[in-house]
Structure 1
Amino acid sequence: YSDRYIGLIKTISGRPYSGKVIVNVQKDSSKNHLIIGNSIKIQTVLQQNKPSKNPNQFDYSRYLANKQIYAQVYCQKKEILVNKAIQKDIWYYCAKLHSRIISNLEKSNFNQAEMNVALALILGQQQEISQDIIQDYQYSGATHVLSVSGLHVGFIMLFITFVLKPIPNTKKGSFFKLACILISLAGFAVISGLSPSVLRSVVMFSFLAIGNHLRRNGNIYHTLLVSILLILLFEPYFLFDVGFQLSYIALFFILWLQPILKDIYNPKNKLTVYIWEALTVSFAAQIGTLPLCLYYFHQFPGLFFVTNIIILPVLSFIMIAGIVVMIIAIFTSPPLFIIIIFEKSIYLLNLMIHAVASVDSFVIQNISFNLYHLWAFSFFIIATTVWIKKPSFNKLLFVFVSIITIQLAFIFTKIETENEGELIVYNEKNNTLISERLGRNLLLFTRDTLRENNRNINSYLVGNSISLPTTKEIKNVLYFKKNKILIIDSTKTYSEKIKPDILILTQTSKVNLDRLLQILHPKIVIADGSNSNSIQKYWKNSCLKKNIPFHSTKEKGYYRL
């Protein structure tokens, strides 16, 4: 519904301020003339990022805080005053280049669905890709393909190295090769809009290229560490970026574990060699990143190795063809025959990804995996790899200790789960949903029949290692740990004799709250997501008059007792 930008604040009410906000400009029928580098003036309110509205869900406010963005503003195009002076820095020229490429591609009659994937593959712009295609890439274990990162930059580096192979490895020839690689990587970073993931990968591979030029192959891990240090020196918050963590862990395990896996089998046929190398690279990266992937995403694509084997040849061609198409698009509309070839290759890639993703039984979802499991499994993978590389008795002891650590992680999780007791009022838009948990047993109270896959409940079950709940129709009175809870809905049914500790208002109940508070004297009033915003304002004022806490799940998120 909005065009979204990151805005750098200069002044508020004439006073100098600094910081980053997200600027949401509402879409309408008119064209948006804003460009990167514009200075704008708007009369609006800074709205603080709100935490997740239900337990164990993705916390968008925390995600933005890790990018040092703490607020958002919302406005319409007509409310914006644009300064004629444009700040022409590297971001402005990158954005201009981007716009020119997209404009020339649109003139070439590029099919929209395939063009959106092409823009994600080469320029890192994912916002226009349909949800179905994104889901296919997730289920097939190929999400990394849509995020311009190490894989894409690695392809470019390999391609440039292959093109420059005829140049002799003399002192001058080697330096010329290095210069070409660094210029090509920097050029790709500019074409793809200098996004953090691309900058990260370009710095990483530039250091690898420099290390290779200096013939320091033995110190490749040092090169990797120096690139991490350099990036974190300028952007310390990247340390909390999931993409940053996965990129470096995947590359480290490819360098560290892949040679061991490769030596297990020595095929002689060229095709078998290619398949085996693709398999070992894929397995090394997947083994290394497995604990983090389970911790963040709680799912595992069982056919990731099949995906990587079948898509690598097509993806190699797409990357090379894509770079050629994008370079041509900088100057003019690419020729029709190149567009058709590029378009069909992306169509083939999407088809292959969809075929793998459609095998639902191999996508393991809703895996409970907490911080204990993350550290325990990471320790086990590292200890096992160290032992396999150079076996010894002491290293084997570490492997056994890591296995015991995994068992302890499960034991601690079980103890924590069984000792937990809580009641939660969820923020559901058109339904009332309350869960009562004692240990591993979860009882759900709901006004309407609960949908089979309620996202809020699934997140809670997975996050707390709980089995499927028992569902009951909601009652007007609940008891939880000596707390009496009264629930009033649109029927306004309640007994004046009940003196509840907690009063829950649902379904936009048209009660006289001032009178109700005088009779019942609750310690707190809760309004769930099934109530309208307008009536909640009246309720909030009524509670303020009586000095009773008011909790709106729409405003503050779920209520936990």
Structure 2
Amino acid sequence: PHQFDYARYMRHQNVHFRAYVPAREWHLLEAGFRRDLKGEALALRKRLLEVLENRLPDSQARAVVSAMTLGYRRDLPEELETAYARTGAMHVLAVSGLHVGVLFLLGGFLFRGLRRRGRWGKGLECLGLLLLVWAFAFLTGLSPSVRRAATMFSFLAVGRVFGRRANVYNTLAASAFWLLLIDPYLLFQVGFQLSYAAVAGIVFFQPRIARLWQPPWRGVNYLWQLTAVSLAAQLTTFPLSLYYFHQFPLFFLLSGWVVVPVATIVLPTTLGLFAAEFLSPGLAECLGLALQQLVGWNNAILYALQSLPSATVSGVWLDWKGVVTLFVLVWGVGAWSATRRFRWLLVSAFALLFVAASGARASWQKQISREVVLYRVPRNFQLDLFDRDHVLSLESVKNDPAAVHFAVANHRSFRGAKEEAGCALEADPEAAADWAFYRGWLQYRDLRILVLSPQTPLPETPTRAAALILTGSPDVRLGEVFQRVQVEEVIIHTENRRGLVQRWERECEELGVPCHSLWEEGAWVRRF
């Protein structure tokens, strides 16, 4: 439960089926990039990545520059990516509106002389800007965020040619409509949703926040403008962030003061490095060292912010109703700030009351409920017993820690599990104050579960169990087992031979005993 739904994710990528081909039945004819426009762009990106590898010896600095400028994130170390995520700086690693905006301004500066040559000059400027922006978009892999930004700035460039001041909201809506017309599945991509939510928030809220204070000093005013942009973006993206990532960075303002100026410097400097690599290798070496030093300082600051206490609020879980209510709350306040009509404050107040009541109800339900979960983790046995904020785990010593963590982490976070205890399936016996595990029997207060493996002996006298878990392919007949153990439900684990699974399913149907197969139905969850 609460695990990442990979099948749903692939459906939204328009991938609905998969097939397996044995290694001996296929042969690779040719390796390389396709000979089309995107393939050529990816081949060029590979060459530029080699330039960065030569000029930036530090692997972490090189990984950040590759992500910021070329959209290549495969080399990012997990600890560095976590530092950016926990400090609210993850957006600078995804090529998006910030990067395309910097490139658009740089192009405007380079082509500014064409504007004085009438409409033809403006047309040439527009053409140059479009080529620059879309070449950069292709170079970075055409991610949804960069496609959105490139499309929006393209509309702005074309509008400038015709001498029209474009309405930002219309431009934003037109770019979204155009992208969704080409690929409707973009609507379900997290990056697409966050990107448009952030831009809408910046356009609407940033001027209103900035007007709250007018610093008399230029440097302070620059920081205040950055703060206003960060606050505006977070206001309209935090409902989605909580829904998808279940955490919120508290130091996003501090990180924004650092990473936004750094990103603004890194992009043109890296473009200069690429040009210098072919024109002046000495200059390229200097630019590479400067880039490495700048990004190194940036990474060190983010690591320091991440290490501060309470850097991130985590374990926050929302359903779609909570997301909608938070958006009503945010935009209700926005509508009040624009119209000064009291009814919008009332709408926001009711939304806030609903969110608070829903959160209190969910927290209370978790505190009074107890449940047992047997996870569907192929080639691993993992069972969790939840009692308020405690969790007892029954697991195999042969488990793959990474696979198990992927399966259980989200649900444990959802349950708010803080104190953990556990015992090994192969270690026998084990016991504590309120639970015991002996010869395949798990007793937790008034709940009894029999884990039947080939090594588990059946009891000599008839007894009862809430559930029978079959694992390890024990060659037993369920009719004979039920003569010794009266069970309410049978759970068939993934670690069983297919022939035995089919036989047990038939026997359960004949005997009228509920059967749950982890292969067919996913994790088994029971409240008690």
TM range (shorter): 0.7 to 0.9
Structure 2 residue 391 is matched with structure 1 residue 426: no
Residue matched to 1:460: 411
| Structure 1 unaligned blocks of 5 or more | 1-54
Residue matched to 1:56: 2
Q: Which aligned pairs between 1:255-274 and structure 2 lie closer than 5 A?
A: 255-274=203-222
Structure 2 residue 4 is matched with structure 1 residue 65: no
CA gap 1:524/1:397 in 2 versus in 1, 3 angstroms: closer
Question: What does the per-residue CA deviation read over 1:117-165, in whole Å, with 9 as the maximum and x for residues that have no partner?
Answer: 2221112111121111111111111111111122211221122234444
The residue identity in structure 1 corresponding to 2:130 is L
The residue identity in structure 2 corresponding to 1:434 is D
Distance in 1 separating the partners of 2:343 and 2:490: 60
C-alpha contact (below 8 Å) 1:295/1:374 kept by paired residues: yes
Counterpart of 1:514 in 2: which secondary structure? Answer: coil
CA gap 1:300/1:473 in 2 versus in 1, 3 angstroms: farther
Q: Which aligned pairs between 1:67-466 and structure 2 lie closer than 5 A?
A: 67-72=13-18, 80-83=26-29, 88-108=35-55, 110-165=57-112, 168=115, 170-217=118-165, 219-327=167-275, 335-410=284-359, 413=362, 422-427=371-376, 432-435=382-385, 444=392, 446=394, 458-463=409-414, 466=416
The residue identity in structure 2 corresponding to 1:401 is F
Distance in 2 separating the partners of 1:105 and 1:332: 15
Q: Which aligned pairs between 1:488-499 and structure 2 lie closer than 5 A?
A: 488=452, 492-495=456-459, 497-498=462-463
CA gap 1:343/1:431 in 2 versus in 1, 3 angstroms: same
Q: Shift of the alpha carbon at 1:404?
A: 3.7
The residue identity in structure 1 corresponding to 2:249 is P
Counterpart of 2:459 in 1: which secondary structure? Answer: coil
Distance in 2 separating the partners of 1:238 and 1:167: 36
C-alpha contact (below 8 Å) 1:100/1:330 kept by paired residues: no
Distance in 2 separating the partners of 1:352 and 1:74: 46
Distance in 2 separating the partners of 1:88 and 1:56: 42
C-alpha contact (below 8 Å) 2:391/2:417 kept by paired residues: no
C-alpha contact (below 8 Å) 1:540/1:550 kept by paired residues: no
Distance in 1 separating the partners of 2:6 and 2:368: 29
Distance in 1 separating the partners of 2:65 and 2:522: 38
Q: Shift of the alpha carbon at 1:319?
A: 0.9
Residue matched to 2:425: none
CA gap 1:399/1:211 in 2 versus in 1, 3 angstroms: farther
Distance in 1 separating the partners of 2:96 and 2:138: 14
% same residue: 26
CA gap 1:58/1:329 in 2 versus in 1, 3 angstroms: farther
CA gap 1:172/1:193 in 2 versus in 1, 3 angstroms: same
Distance in 2 separating the partners of 1:436 and 1:406: 25
The residue identity in structure 2 corresponding to 1:62 is R
Q: Shift of the alpha carbon at 1:240?
A: 0.5
Q: Shift of the alpha carbon at 1:197?
A: 3.0
**TM-score, L = length of structure 1:** 0.77
The residue identity in structure 2 corresponding to 1:540 is V
Q: Shift of the alpha carbon at 1:203?
A: 1.0
CA gap 1:346/1:445 in 2 versus in 1, 3 angstroms: closer
Residue matched to 1:38: none
Distance in 2 separating the partners of 1:431 and 1:556: 16
Structure 2 residue 469 is matched with structure 1 residue 504: yes
CA gap 1:381/1:189 in 2 versus in 1, 3 angstroms: same
Distance in 2 separating the partners of 1:433 and 1:399: 42
Q: Cα RMSD (Å) of the superposition?
A: 3.8
Distance in 2 separating the partners of 1:72 and 1:133: 33
Counterpart of 1:560 in 2: which secondary structure? Answer: strand
Q: Shift of the alpha carbon at 1:502?
A: 3.4
CA gap 1:402/1:266 in 2 versus in 1, 3 angstroms: same
Residue matched to 2:504: 543
The residue identity in structure 2 corresponding to 1:349 is N
Counterpart of 1:203 in 2: which secondary structure? Answer: helix
Q: Shift of the alpha carbon at 1:173?
A: 4.2
Residue matched to 2:431: none
Counterpart of 1:435 in 2: which secondary structure? Answer: strand
Question: What does the per-residue CA deviation read over 1:36-89, in whole Å, with 9 as the maximum and x for residues that have no partner?
Answer: xxxxxxxxxxxxxxxxxxx11222222121111234566798764244698522
C-alpha contact (below 8 Å) 1:435/1:445 kept by paired residues: yes
Distance in 1 separating the partners of 2:240 and 2:126: 34
**TM-score, L = length of structure 2:** 0.81
C-alpha contact (below 8 Å) 1:528/1:553 kept by paired residues: yes
The residue identity in structure 2 corresponding to 1:133 is L
Counterpart of 2:76 in 1: which secondary structure? Answer: coil
C-alpha contact (below 8 Å) 2:115/2:125 kept by paired residues: no
Q: Shift of the alpha carbon at 1:523?
A: 7.2
Deviates more, 1:282-291 or 1:165-174: 165-174
Distance in 2 separating the partners of 1:211 and 1:93: 30
Distance in 2 separating the partners of 1:405 and 1:317: 44
Q: Shift of the alpha carbon at 1:331?
A: 9.1
Distance in 1 separating the partners of 2:268 and 2:479: 70
CA gap 1:351/1:470 in 2 versus in 1, 3 angstroms: closer
Distance in 1 separating the partners of 2:215 and 2:458: 77
Distance in 2 separating the partners of 1:519 and 1:395: 65
Question: What does the per-residue CA deviation read over 1:191-242, in whole Å, with 9 as the maximum and x for residues that have no partner?
Answer: 2133333222211222233345545446211111011100000010000100
Distance in 1 separating the partners of 2:17 and 2:280: 40
CA gap 1:105/1:69 in 2 versus in 1, 3 angstroms: same
The residue identity in structure 2 corresponding to 1:312 is V
CA gap 1:66/1:314 in 2 versus in 1, 3 angstroms: same
CA gap 1:348/1:163 in 2 versus in 1, 3 angstroms: farther
CA gap 1:328/1:195 in 2 versus in 1, 3 angstroms: farther
Question: What does the per-residue CA deviation read over 1:64-116, in whole Å, with 9 as the maximum and x for residues that have no partner?
Answer: 21111234566798764244698522222122212222334445564333222
C-alpha contact (below 8 Å) 1:298/1:368 kept by paired residues: yes
Distance in 2 separating the partners of 1:100 and 1:119: 12
Q: Shift of the alpha carbon at 1:516?
A: 5.5
C-alpha contact (below 8 Å) 1:119/1:125 kept by paired residues: yes
Q: Shift of the alpha carbon at 1:274?
A: 0.8
Distance in 2 separating the partners of 1:130 and 1:443: 31
Distance in 1 separating the partners of 2:149 and 2:278: 23
C-alpha contact (below 8 Å) 1:501/1:524 kept by paired residues: yes
Residue matched to 1:487: 451
CA gap 1:447/1:171 in 2 versus in 1, 3 angstroms: closer
The residue identity in structure 1 corresponding to 2:154 is S
Residue matched to 1:520: 482
Size of the alignment, in residue pairs?
496
Distance in 2 separating the partners of 1:469 and 1:209: 57
